[in-house]
Structure formats: structure tokens, C-alpha cells
């Protein structure tokens, strides 16, 4: 049932909606992120308030939620499902989704709440969904839709943020070091309880320390593979562009383009990687101490660039050049196990030592993602009810699923995550469209204050 809904509804509609919404906001905001890149970069580097969570710390928390299995196993899964051409559609989804992430973060800052007893900010998609409908006389509908969105976020936290990440860790450690999955599951669950029990500042400080280190390490490892196989990089790009428009895998008919495997796989895995447009990252960014919604929104553009345009592209190129450089193409034999497919792509070029490095990288990426998604789920619980007993129960259930995820194949979790993420994206894009004038107002305000038209 889940597979039928994903294949015939969610993954067919979502790519089209993402592209249309991205184009709509790009034209409405006059492609400001392309026209004024230096001004955006300068504003991001401007020192702001010292209290609370800094804008950079907020973005590292959001990046922790996106820099996970989507960058490693997700890319391999996309290539296995949709071929090399799926990478092209990852790029397209990222380029059009940059402005969507900017829009949702901008709205999150505008509609967040502040706990004056602690000074903490709290917000996210559920808050601006409710506010929009409440301001237009539909308070009950807005509340119901906001709660439904929060419930979907909890489902996504337990599936994509928990089970899939945990399984990636146990799969990599079992495949590389032959460590039993239940041991990995127990250790990771215990560590997660300790970190998740902290507040947003604690979790964001953890992300601020780990995200830059693991990102740089992964870039260097990928660069080493591509340097060793530099003669195949041109062939890899050629294969990506050639397969991107090959519609043999489509179901046929006039809508063949919209339902081609490459398009669906690339867009859904790209969305799962950078989360642009689905309404999750605003939860992290809403906690930032910033003097401008637009300034914090700029960090969302940077986030998508790092996640998909840089890291996912590096992963994809490593896999493709490894396949092209192998006479037997044995790497494709791991297509049923995307995590090991990626690990073998690196080790086939760099040797066995890189498998250990990749296993550690998977641990760091996936653990950071689990912590971030636990925070998203906890914030969703707090939106629905302020009863702390539910938050405690959620943390225990979340950590239980970390252990379960280490032991079980995540196919059902992938299906549930795709479905939940797709529905969240459809709801969020609809609300972003309805609130687009607010986004334009904040964008105009920023550029007018800084002496330049948007």
C-alpha cells in the first residue's frame, strides 16, 4: 500500500510541485539569490547577537538533520533506482528548492514564539501554518492542519531520522568490522538518550562541533577518490546528462517525463537529503537569535548548496567513476544494500583502509542526523501538548526504535519516510504559496534597508 501510494501519487506529484513552487518564488523574488550572491554572503558573515543560539549554530543543527544517510546511502539508492540520470534531477531539485528553504525559514522567524522565562525561541512550519489560517478566520482548520503536520514530522523523525540512520550505522559496521548489529544499536541508543535529553542549546552546540569536522573529512576523502580517477570524471558527467532524459524507464504516455524513474528517484532522494520545501529545517532555524528573518533565510540557501550541490554530487561522482572504472562493475552488485555500495565505491579506489574511515563517517553523519531529528520530533510533541510526560515517552520510544532499526531492514521505513515527507512537502508548499507576500515583504525590507532593490 505504501509503495503504491509513493510510486503512483507522492513521488509523481512532489517533483512537479517542487519545481513549480521553486520557479514561482524565484520569479516573485526576482532571483535575488543569483543576482546578489556577495551581498548575501556578507550578511551571513555579519556578527549578530551573542545571547542564545547563533545563526551559524542554528544552521549546523539544521545541517546535522540533512547531512546523513541521504548523502551516502540515499545517493546510492537513487542511482540504483533511477540510474546515473537521477543525479541531474537531484541538482535541479536543489537549485529550485534553495529559494523554498529561504522562504520557509523566513516565515519561521516571523512566526516563532519566545519563552520569556528562558529566552528561548520556538517555531517551525506548524506555527506559521496555524497563524496563516487563524489570521484568515479559519482557526480550527489551521490548528488541525498544524497538528497533522506535527504528527507527520514525528513519523518522519522515527523513520528517516531514526530507523534509517541507525540501520546505516549497523550495516556499515557489520559489513566493515563484523560487529553484531545489536551491539551497535544498544551503544547508539544509550548515547542518544544522553544527548537528546538536553535542550536546544546543548544539541546545537554538539552539532556545531561535529558538523564542520565530518563535512571537511568527507570532502577530502571524496576528493582523493576523484583525483585518483580524474580521467573518468568527464565520462561520469556525460553519463549523468545522457541518462537524465532517457525516458525508457517511464511508465509511458504524455506524462512520461513526470513519472520517469530518474526524475522521481533524484527528486525524492534530493528532498530527503536537503529537506528543502518540506518544512522541517525551520524548526532548527527558528531558535536562532537573528535581527532579520531574511538573513536567517540566506543560511537555508547555503545549507542546500552544501548538502546537495556539494556533498551529494561528490558521493555520486565517486560511485559513478568507481563503476565506470571497474571491469566487472561489481559495485552494482551491492545495489540492494546502498550503504555498502557507497563504501565499496570508495574502497575500490583507495583500498581497504577507507572502509574503516567511511564506517566512522557514517556513524558521525547518521548520529548527528538522529540527534537533530529527535529534536524536531520533540518540538512537534511540544507543539501538540505541553505535557512533559509525552516528551519523555517520545524520547524513550525514539531510542527504542534506534535499537530496532539497527536490527531490521529499513525498506518499510524508507517507504513510510517517503510518504510522510511527500505529504509534508505538499502541505508546506501550499502554505508557502499562500504566504508568499510575507516572504516578499521581508526580502524587500532587507534589500531596501541595505540600499539595493531585490
Name the E strands within 233-320: none
Q: Rounded to an integer, what distance in angstroms lies between the CA atom of residue 97 and that of residue 271?
A: 9
Q: For residue 292, is it left (φ>0), alpha (ψ between -120 and 50) or beta?
A: beta
Residues 6+ apart with CB under 8 A from 328: none
Q: Rounded to an integer, what distance in angstroms lies between the CA atom of residue 319 and that of residue 327?
A: 14
Is pLDDT larger for residue 62 or for residue 259?
62
- CA dihedral (424, 410, 169, 268) in degrees, to 10, reads -40
Average pLDDT, stretch 322-328?
74
| Cell output for 31 | 532571483
pLDDT in tens, 237-252: 998 888 877 654 333 3
pTM value?
Answer: 0.82
CA distances from 262 to 79, 90, 269 (A): 8, 9, 11
Per-residue pLDDT at 372 = 82
Per-residue pLDDT at 66 = 60
Confidence of residue 310 (pLDDT cuts 50, 70, 90): confident
| Cell output for 427 | 502541505
The answer as to CATH 1.10.357.10 being correct for domain 2-29+65-440 is no
Is pLDDT larger for residue 25 or for residue 78?
25
The DSSP call for residue 53 is B
Q: What pairing do the DSSP bridges indicate for beta strands 120-122 and 113-115? A: antiparallel
Is pLDDT larger for residue 381 or for residue 449?
381
- What values do phi and psi take at 19, rounded to 5? -65, -45
**Where do runs of H (alpha helix) occur along 67-124?**
69-82, 86-110
Domain boundaries, the chain: 2-29+65-440
Q: Rounded to an integer, what distance in angstroms lies between the CA atom of residue 4 and that of residue 406?
A: 26
Is pLDDT larger for residue 173 or for residue 215?
173
Average pLDDT, stretch 328-348?
73
Is pLDDT larger for residue 340 or for residue 275?
340
pLDDT in tens, 11-60: 667 777 888 898 999 999 988 888 888 888 887 776 555 555 566 666 66
Residue 451 pLDDT > 80: no
Amino acid at each position: 500500500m505504501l509503495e503504491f501510494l509513493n510510486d503512483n501519487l507522492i513521488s509523481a506529484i512532489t517533483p512537479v510541485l517542487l519545481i513549480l513552487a521553486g520557479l514561482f518564488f524565484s520569479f516573485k523574488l526576482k532571483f535575488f539569490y543569483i543576482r546578489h550572491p556577495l551581498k548575501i554572503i556578507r550578511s551571513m558573515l555579519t556578527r549578530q547577537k551573542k545571547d542564545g543560539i547563533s545563526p551559524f549554530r542554528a544552521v549546523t543543527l539544521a545541517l546535522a538533520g540533512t547531512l546523513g544517510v541521504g548523502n551516502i546511502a540515499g545517493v546510492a539508492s537513487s542511482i540504483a533506482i533511477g540510474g546515473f540520470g537521477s543525479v541531474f534531477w537531484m541538482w535541479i531539485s536543489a537549485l529550485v528548492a534553495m529559494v523554498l528553504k529561504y522562504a520557509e525559514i523566513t516565515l519561521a522567524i516571523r512566526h516563532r514564539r519566545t519563552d520569556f522565562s528562558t529566552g528561548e525561541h520556538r517555531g517551525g512550519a506548524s506555527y506559521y501554518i496555524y497563524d496563516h489560517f487563524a489570521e484568515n478566520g479559519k482557526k480550527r482548520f489551521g490548528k488541525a492542519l498544524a497538528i497533522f503536520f506535527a504528527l507527520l514530522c514525528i513519523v518522519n523523525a522515527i523513520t528517516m531520522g531514526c530507523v534509517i540512520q541507525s540501520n546505516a550505522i549497523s550495516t556499515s559496521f557489520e559489513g566493515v568490522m563484523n560487529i553484531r548489529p545489536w551491539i551497535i544499536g544498544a551503544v547508539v541508543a544509550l548515547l542518544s538518550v544522553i544527548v537528546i535529553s538536553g535542550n536546544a542549546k546543548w544539541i546545537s552546540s554538539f552539532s556545531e562541533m561535529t558538523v564542520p569536522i565530518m563535512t571537511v573529512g568527507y570532502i577530502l576523502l571524496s576528493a582523493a577518490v576523484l583525483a585518483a580517477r580524474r580521467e573518468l570524471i568527464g565520462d561520469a558527467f556525460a553519463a549523468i546528462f545522457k541518462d537524465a532524459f532517457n525516458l525508457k524507464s517511464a511508465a509511458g504516455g504524455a506524462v512520461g517525463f513526470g513519472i520517469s524513474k530518474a526524475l522521481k528517484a533524484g527528486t525524492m532522494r534530493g528532498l530527503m537529503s536537503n529537506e528543502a520545501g518540506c518544512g522541517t529545517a525551520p524548526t532548527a532555524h527558528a531558535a536562532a537569535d537573528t535581527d532579520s528573518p531574511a538573513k536567517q533565510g540566506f543560511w537555508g540557501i547555503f545549507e542546500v548548496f552544501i548538502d546537495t550541490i556539494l556533498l551529494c554530487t561528490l558521493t555520486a561522482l565517486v560511485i559513478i567513476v568507481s563503476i565506470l572504472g571497474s571491469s566487472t562493475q561489481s559495485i552494482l552488485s551491492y545495489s540492494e544494500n546502498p550503504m555498502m555500495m557507497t563504501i565499496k565505491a570508495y574502497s575500490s579506489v583507495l583500498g581497504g583502509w577507507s572502509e574503516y574511515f567511511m564506517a566512522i563517517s557514517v556513524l558521525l553523519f547518521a548520529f548527528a542526523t538522529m540527534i537533530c531529528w529527535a529534536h524536531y520530533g520533540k518540538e512537534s510533541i511540544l507543539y501538540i501538548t505541553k505535557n512533559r510526560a509525552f516528551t519523555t515517552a517520545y524520547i524513550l520510544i525514539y531510542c527504542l526504535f534506534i535499537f530496532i532499526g539497527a536490527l531490521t531492514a529499513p525498506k518499510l521505513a524508507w517507504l513510510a519516510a517517503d510518504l510522510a515527507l511527500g505529504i509534508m512537502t505538499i502541505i508546506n508548499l501550499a502554505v508557502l504559496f499562500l504566504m508568499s507576500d510575507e516572504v516578499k515583504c521581508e526580502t524587500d525590507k532587507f534589500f531596501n534597508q541595505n540600499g539595493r532593490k531585490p
